[in-house]
Structure 1
Amino acid sequence: MIVSWSSFIYALTHHLVLDASLGYFINPLFVIALGCLFLKEKLSLFQAIAVFSGVCGLTFQIIMLRHFPALALTMGLSFALYGLARKFIHYDVMTSITIETLWALPVSLLIFYL
């Protein structure tokens, strides 16, 4: 989660708003791919057509962006991996958010003071 948010903040502070928005457009495609790969989710024909449409739209957006969207890919993939990890971690909400916050605190402070 910290990677996704750090990338988002970096994108906004460095005037890469299109990369930031593209990262959130890419995220559902990564979630679907990870679900199919690791959770053995099956797509119906209409779902596969919808994913294909999304990939076509993504390809068009990347071509129009005219540079490799590494930041957008980082944002999308890191948040999708976070979601996948949360599927396997079975803590209550308060314990989970406390652990995540304590883990993110030193990284956040480091980024803030650099």
Structure 2
Amino acid sequence: MYQNPHLAFPGITPEEMGFLQQGTADLNEEQKKYFYMIYTSKRKNPQDLLLFTLLGFVVVAGVQRFVVGQIGMGLLYLFTGGFCLIGTIVDLINNKTLANDFNRKMAYESYQMAKMRS
């Protein structure tokens, strides 16, 4: 029985599943395996980002921004206390959007690497 590889990702959203299905449609089986190997290592789980955002209230603001590679915003959050916690609250509400944006970039990078592989 064929198992959908998209279902193996914890916390996958319908949007993420949609862009993964579209992005891998023209890859052959070897390229798809390579794509999923790369993407799995780069992908961020939305629940993990939620936990990192919650850390902003207790320990250090901006951890979630560092995790998704937004170093400048992470430093800004760090030095301003998450924009006096307002930015942290916004990130708490938008954690799935942060994860989807980051995962979309990582899917594109993984796709490019898989296409280069013959």
After TM superposition, the score normalised by the length of structure 1 is 0.29
Higher relative contact order (CA 8 A, sep 6+): 1
After TM superposition, the score normalised by the length of structure 2 is 0.29
Greater helix fraction, Structure 1 or Structure 2 = 1
